[in-house]
Amino acid sequence: MSFTVVLVGRPNVGKSTLFNRLAGKKLALVDDTPGVTRDWRAAPGHVGGLSFTVVDTAGLEDVSDDSLEARMRRQTERALDRADVALFIIDARAGVTPLDRHFANLLRKGRTPVVLVANKAEGKAGMPGLYEAFELGLGEPLAISAEHGEGMADLVQALMPYA
């Protein structure tokens, strides 16, 4: 039985970049425009000998009269329903934003186990965000670079209990 890993977080933190790395294909649409992934998508994912289903989420900019928070909550709840574990991704370079805090509050209330991931942590530019991430109350952040493939061994360690 494979397990399911859902990537959640505000737009532009690198969810689709990580999805592409784990899925090994250019399946998700990556763009500099926040929230450009139009829907969530699932694919077989692999890292360090682990196999799972990886789900990318977005669509937060979909046409809707609802607030960003409302859409985010709805989408996150739907995604978490099918997840064994959620990777909650923040942008280590941008630091912790109000939307990140909003997300963290949702995730802390849910039943799905959460692994906090600080992406864009290559080089030193991600250091401040990494320290800030501790205040989200979701444990120690995992520093990765989805773009450069750094931190993948730590990611494997974090996912191992759910395999």
Report the alpha-carbon angle 44-22-93, nearest 5. 145
Smallest distance, Å, CB 14 to ligand GDP?
A: 3
Bridge-based pairing state of the strands 85-91 and 114-119? parallel
Asked if 37 is part of the footprint of Mg ion (rule: CB under 5 A), the reply reads yes
Q: What is residue 35's DSSP assignment?
A: T
Q: Per the annotation, does 47 bind a ligand? A: no
| Ligand-binding site membership of 80 (annotated) | no
**16 contributes a contact to Mg ion by CB under 5 A:** yes
68-79 burial, b for 16+ CB within 10 Å, e for fewer?
Answer: eeebbbebbeeb
State which of positions 44-83 bind Mg ion (CB under 5 A). Answer: 58
Cβ-count burial 98-109 (b if 16+ within 10 Å, e if not): ebbeebbebbee
Q: Which is nearer to Mg ion, 102 or 163 (CB)?
A: 102
Q: Is 56 a known ligand-binding residue?
A: yes
Establish whether 11 is an annotated binding residue: yes
Q: Which residues are annotated as a binding site?
A: 9-16, 56-60, 119-122
Which residues form the interface with Mg ion (CB under 5 A)? 15-16, 37, 58
Q: Which residues are annotated as a binding site for GTP?
A: 9-16, 56-60, 119-122
